[in-house]
A = this chain, B = another copy of it.
Amino acid sequence: MPFVRIDLIRGRRPEDIRAIADAAHQGIVDVLEIPVRDRFQVITEHDADHVIALDAGLGIERSDQLVMIQIFTPTGRTTEVKQQLFRTIAKHLEALGVAGADIFVSIMENNPQDWSFGFGRAQYVEGDLAVPGH
Contact = CB atoms under 8 A, between A and B. Distances in A.
A125 to B, nearest CB: 6
Contacts of A52: 21, 25, 39-43
B90 A119 contact: yes
Nearest to A81: B113
One complex includes copies of this chain to the number of 3
State which size class the interface on A falls in. Answer: 35 or more
Contacts of A62: 118
Contacts of A51: 41-43
A114 B102 CA distance: 17
Interface of A: 1, 3, 7, 14, 17-18, 21, 25, 35, 37-46, 49-58, 60, 62, 68, 70, 72, 79, 82-83, 86-91, 100-110, 113-123, 125-126, 128-129
What 4 A-B pairs are tightest by C-beta distance, nearest first?
Answer: A90-B120, A100-B119, A86-B116, A107-B114
